[in-house]
Structure 1
Amino acid sequence: MSTINRRAFLTGAAALASAPLLAACGGDISTGTTTTAAGSTAGSTPASPGSSAGSATGSATAGSSSGGGTKEKITIFAFLGNRLADMPKAFAQDYMSRHSNVEIEIYEDSNANGYPKILAAKQADPTATPLVNMGFFNSQISAQGDLDGTWNKLDYAALSNAADISDTFRRPNMNGIGVGADQIGLLYNTDAVSTPPTSWTALWEDEQFAGRLSLWDYWWYVVFMAAKVNGGDLSNMDAGWDIWRENAPNVRTIVTANPEWQQVMSNGTSDLTSCWNGTGLQFKADGAPVDYVVPTEGAIAVPVYLQTLAGNSDNQQEICLDILNEMLSPQWDQMWAETAVQTPANSTVELPADLKDLPGFLPENVDKLISIDWGLVAANNADWRARWDADIKANI
């Protein structure tokens, strides 16, 4: 783990706040929904990137199909909840208006619930078309997909807009590329709490929150931070597990969906949780009495990646690369930053004024962001889930 340089962050080079990852940008409704983008109403659509967005393959070939009048169908995985699907839905409408023989469907789900379905479909029939052709995936799922052989390797040199994506958002194995980043800190109920928490330790040490906590299911981040402040690290979280086994009764409810999370943080059920900055700000924009806090120890950085899936046909992959490249353009990456409330990966995009002054984006807090070895997370996730069940859920 390491901290992230402020200058890199402010130019879009650093990773901020999903889930899960598992759910981060992924902690959403447990049952996914599929919508045909042509019929969605995702709000105003930004000006068509057109030629300025660049094209990985060239619009003359992207979207071509072998049958006369037959449309090539592309399914894009998007996070469900808040405004996380706004950009992909708006993009799909715009793209289809410029590519008459491409049909785009948006499949909305949390990464936590959706990725197992993707993997199960692949395992059931490795020769079949993937459940989705490309999508938005958090850091933890991206690392898990590396182990499962889920992704296609990208040729960054062939993506014209990748030139503006900093090294921080480029994966060493090129299995995807970053579109933005969120961060995980604390979220509290402003109606119930007069003195905001300042430290991660408030989750397990502060008596005013005993029995008033809510946590996302399998939210190992709080175990990691309990270990970290007590001398442990990601490879040795025993101290964190001991702390949470002892303090599990402080947790009043475990949530598995963003609307449920927002509700318990609004109706008096819970006064404190650990949450993504972007998700917390979206809750607040919806009227929830909440504020996000960057703990004194630092928040946890969580990038979001765009990936294409192994098993795509050549034509599907060509279209997916064209879509991915356009999504990295300044126009669309800015929309992603604004609707998902994340740091944009494209270094030419400037954060809007209403984001720059928020706690999660202040330079002094960016300096303290904690980077995670997501490969290590993927390797240990199964064991951590079992331990979460045994040490925490069994003792609530």
Structure 2
Amino acid sequence: MSAKALLFATSLLAAAVASGPAALAQAERDAKISFFMFAGSGSDVVPKEVIADYLKKNPKVGIDIVETTNAIIYPKMVTARRTTPDQPLVHCGFFNADTINRGDADDMWETLNKANIPNMANTLPSYARPEARGVPYQAMGIGLLYNTRVMKEPPTSWSVLWSPDSRGKIVTFDNDLRLVGLVSKLNGADEKNPDIGFKLLSENAKNFRALVDSNDALKNLVISGDAPIAPWFSSVSDVWIKEGSPVGFAVPKEGAIAFPIYMAIAKGVTPAQRAVCEDLLNELLTPDRAGRYALVTSSIPLVTNATLSKEQVENPILNPAIAKNAVQIDFAYIATVAADWRDRWAREIKLKMR
């Protein structure tokens, strides 16, 4: 072989090596994505830290941060999926239990590749999604918020919702369909047989002082003592307690309702965009990141090896035991019957409050 031919062959070999797995991996990290995170309450802190660190290591990557609520962004994502299915409005990010299940019906989520997100192995199996269409990350427990000045002892059971002793004492969000599922499950039925839940809440509709549509409205009624009990989120309750509000949070003996949040990748991403999303999800699932996210948002990690602070271990509102022992509501099924349930809520509960 001539020197010229040898040089040419050597060049081809070098090119082949350069186009191998290492080069491919680098090429996959040359993409632009949009990442959705919840706005406020510290929900942006850890994701922004992860994104900043990632961009330093991957300067060719572009990441647009979208901060709002699932209620605002999700309908826009569905519209984009229908009109430009290969151009997702959001490529990956955080989605609550209601939204992630609606996304199943709307065919919104990619099945996650566990080999590319190895930290998925360290999440609670009881919260796993069908066909890995998303990965569990954090949870809030819905328990009973109560006014500590009005109530000498904390409520101990969910039965306070349908007890005759609770007339005019309870405030909750309008159309809180989770309660129908919960009451049904605790009285021998389930979400697919909700009649007992509607019956008990209807017969005791006067227990509800008000049905509200904002956090502030609920908070004001509980703090004033006008409605000293509310089914409410552990994370928000922890914030209000730390603010010095005269409230406590009780986990009923039957368990809190689990309200998880997930991370997911939207359908329509390119292989390069998917690789970036997988990297970000895997990093957020590391013990330190998962534990810190839980701490700054007063959430409960669904990552089993999350690094916990002393406060998280000792504070019953933040302890992972809430998630492990929680009542699991079938949000996926409720999403399919929500319109009918809202009609029943209006007729059988709301009208009978008067």
Report the TM-score when normalising by structure 1. 0.74
Q: CA deviation at 1:362?
A: 6.5
Is the alpha carbon distance of 1:260 and 1:350 closer, same or farther for their aligned partners in structure 2, counting shifts above 3 Å? same
Structure 1 CA distance for aligned equivalents of residues 86 and 321 of structure 2: 49
| Mapped pair 1:286 → 2:252 | no
Is the alpha carbon distance of 1:109 and 1:248 closer, same or farther for their aligned partners in structure 2, counting shifts above 3 Å? farther
Partner of residue 64, structure 1: 30
Q: CA deviation at 1:296?
A: 1.7
Match for 1:154: what amino acid? Answer: L
* Contact preservation (8 Å) 1:78, 1:107: yes
Higher normalized contact order (CA 8 Å, seq sep 6+, divided by chain length):
1
Partner of residue 346, structure 1: 303
Partner of residue 193, structure 1: 151
Q: CA deviation at 1:307?
A: 0.3
1:249-273 deviation line (CA, Å, top 9, x unaligned): 3323333344444344334453111
Q: CA deviation at 1:149?
A: 0.2
Is the alpha carbon distance of 1:95 and 1:392 closer, same or farther for their aligned partners in structure 2, counting shifts above 3 Å? farther
Is the alpha carbon distance of 1:210 and 1:90 closer, same or farther for their aligned partners in structure 2, counting shifts above 3 Å? farther
Is the alpha carbon distance of 1:216 and 1:87 closer, same or farther for their aligned partners in structure 2, counting shifts above 3 Å? farther
* Contact preservation (8 Å) 2:301, 2:320: no
Structure index of larger Rg = 2
Structure 1 CA distance for aligned equivalents of residues 321 and 291 of structure 2: 23
| Mapped pair 1:139 → 2:105 | no
Partner of residue 85, structure 1: 44
2:132 partner SS: coil
Q: How many residues align?
A: 331
Structure 2 CA distance for aligned equivalents of residues 364 and 61 of structure 1: 42
Structure 2 CA distance for aligned equivalents of residues 362 and 328 of structure 1: 18
Is the alpha carbon distance of 1:77 and 1:362 closer, same or farther for their aligned partners in structure 2, counting shifts above 3 Å? closer
Partner of residue 358, structure 1: 315
Q: Which consecutive unaligned segments of at least 5 residues does structure 2 have?
A: 1-22
1:162-201 deviation line (CA, Å, top 9, x unaligned): 2433433432311011112222211112233222211112
1:80-130 deviation line (CA, Å, top 9, x unaligned): 34223332233333333433344434333333444233223433x143622
Structure 1 CA distance for aligned equivalents of residues 324 and 279 of structure 2: 35
- The one of 77, 87, 104 equivalent to 1:129 is 87
Bigger share in helix: 2
Report the TM-score when normalising by structure 2. 0.82
Q: Which consecutive unaligned segments of at least 5 residues does structure 1 have?
A: 1-56, 66-71
Partner of residue 213, structure 2: 256
* Contact preservation (8 Å) 2:38, 2:69: yes
Structure 1 CA distance for aligned equivalents of residues 308 and 24 of structure 2: 29
Partner of residue 59, structure 2: 100
Q: CA RMSD in A?
A: 2.9
1:195 partner SS: coil
| Mapped pair 1:203 → 2:169 | no
